[in-house]
Amino acid sequence: MSDVLPPVLEIVGRIPLQGEVRISGAKNSALVILTGTLLCGEDCHIRNVPRLMDVESMMEILTFFGLKIQRQGDTLDVDARHITQSSAPYELVSKLRASFFAIGPLLARLGVARVPLPGGCAIGARPVDLHVRGLREMGAHVHIEHGVVHAVVPGSSRRLKGAKIYLDFPSVGATETLMMAATLAEGDTTIENAAQEPEVVDLANFCRAMGAKIRGAGTNTIQIVGVPRLHAVDWSIVPDRIEAGTFLVAGAITQSEISIFPVVPDHLTAVVAKLEEMGHRIVQDGLNRLRIVPTDCPQAVDIETLPFPGFPTDMQAQFLALMTLAEGNSVVTETVFENRMRHVAELKRMGANIRLRGNNALISGVPLLSGAPVMSSDLRASAALVLAGLAAEGKTLVQGLHHLDRGYDRLDRKLQGLGAQIRRLETPEELAHIPQLALKEI
């Protein structure tokens, strides 16, 4: 066993922040667009790719499939001419659920794909039945054996057939998998009750830039007319609305005026509405810049997570942290994932007054949180703990940083740029006196 201790984020709270933050490309767009390069028989030039562990893991998986990828700064050059593998190894897929989405483009391009079931993760069981059902409707023979999904397109053409697909739930991943699969299918596909998230639209636009025929992305009905092949593309990933929302909450929780740029304001409607309902002002300075002008008397508001354009589940933990310091009582309800409340116990260790009733958190605002050693349970939970630490009295030590590094592009450095007192403790000397926490099993 390695005796290298994992890094810890030390935050000294109650320091006012100020300035502007540059928002990176969207994690969930970048990941699925990277799987989308499997559809292309030529070169893909992808800009504004965030620096994240999840992107590194996705690059590792695509390289395993035979793609050649080079990174220069925030740009990735992907040569997708030759796919040499149609099976993904479990060690790689289990690191990153989004890699399962590769099953759609692999099947569309090669007529065969073997991808292990990703399994559950910290926030829920996360089945892939909707992906599998849709691929079957497009003519694939799919069976699951020893934890691996085996999919084959019968017939000599090896092309999937267009189909009319209804999703029981507007799953982001299933919409993306099936939309990618349909781009190279024979005939027309309609996806009803499709996810409308901006990342689905970014993927659709990326595929269209390669020559795919897709209409309706961003609505609940997406229509795709299959084409035989797709061509080279130069694409820039949309700004990350969840990173943007996290910085707006950083402004709100520290009562600091912060500008975020670049953003697509329409992607943040629900988040902005809830901040305004609390009493904060969100000012749009130009096309793609937002500024929070915080109130010093934030009111508690209720939140329920929903598929887009509803309030995003990926902002639930950060808002829950914000509500712990608001005036009055609020209810935060998680409806998308069944187990996405593990940050509650850690926030309570910082003095928050929260009662958990299933997937409802009943919060009574307190005047102050107090810094404490806390443990991250998943990506957005780790962001919530950082935000709470920024507002808490004294020092907060956030552990489990691998979660944060999976999905936030240098969050600590960006916060430092706003004046936060936040630093990574990494050396044995720095870590010597830090209690090593373990997340309690449930």
Enzyme catalytic residues: 121
Residue 93 token pair: 């897929």
| Residue 95 contacts ligand EPU per CB under 6 A | no
Q: Which is nearer to ligand EPU, 17 or 336 (CB)?
A: 336
Q: Which stretch binds ligand EPU (CB under 6 A): 26-34, 36-44, 246-254, 350-358?
A: 26-34
What distance in Å separates the CA atoms of residue 52 and residue 391, rounded to the nearest whole number?
26
Q: Which stretch binds ligand EPU (CB under 6 A): 38-46, 119-127, 185-193, 366-374?
A: 119-127
Which of 240, 314, 405, 412 contacts ligand EPU by CB under 6 A? Answer: 314
- Is 369:324 a contact under the CB 8 Å cutoff? yes
**Distances from the Cα of 329 to the Cα of 74, 140, 298, 313, 365, angstroms:** 43, 51, 12, 20, 6
What distance in Å separates the CA atoms of residue 74 and residue 92, rounded to the nearest whole number?
23
Question: Considering CB under 6 A, how many residues would be counted as binding ligand EPU?
Answer: 26
Which of 193, 313, 377, 396 contacts ligand EPU by CB under 6 A? Answer: 313
What distance in Å separates the CA atoms of residue 283 and residue 20, rounded to the nearest whole number?
13
Q: Which is nearer to ligand EPU, 27 or 159 (CB)?
A: 27
Q: Which residues contact 334 (CB under 8 A, 6 or more apart)?
A: 305, 313, 316, 340, 341, 359
DSSP state of 363: E
| Residue 385 contacts ligand EPU per CB under 6 A | no
198 is in an annotated binding site: no
- Least Cβ distance, residue 196 to ligand EPU (angstroms): 10
Q: Is the dihedral of CA 367, 371, 373, 378 positive or negative?
A: positive
**Matching residue, tokens 């996705």:** 58
In 193-335, where do the E strands start and end? 213-215, 221-225, 233-236, 258-261, 281-284, 290-293, 303-304, 329-333
- Identify residues 244-273 at the interface with ligand EPU (CB under 6 A): none
Q: Which is nearer to ligand EPU, 124 or 279 (CB)?
A: 124
Q: Which is nearer to ligand EPU, 167 or 300 (CB)?
A: 167
Q: Which is nearer to ligand EPU, 166 or 169 (CB)?
A: 169
Binding-site residues sit at 27-28, 97, 126-130, 314, 336
Binding site for ligand EPU (CB under 6 A): 27-28, 31, 98, 124, 126-131, 169, 171-174, 195, 197, 199, 313-314, 336-337, 379-380, 407
Give the annotated binding-site residues for phosphoenolpyruvate.
27-28
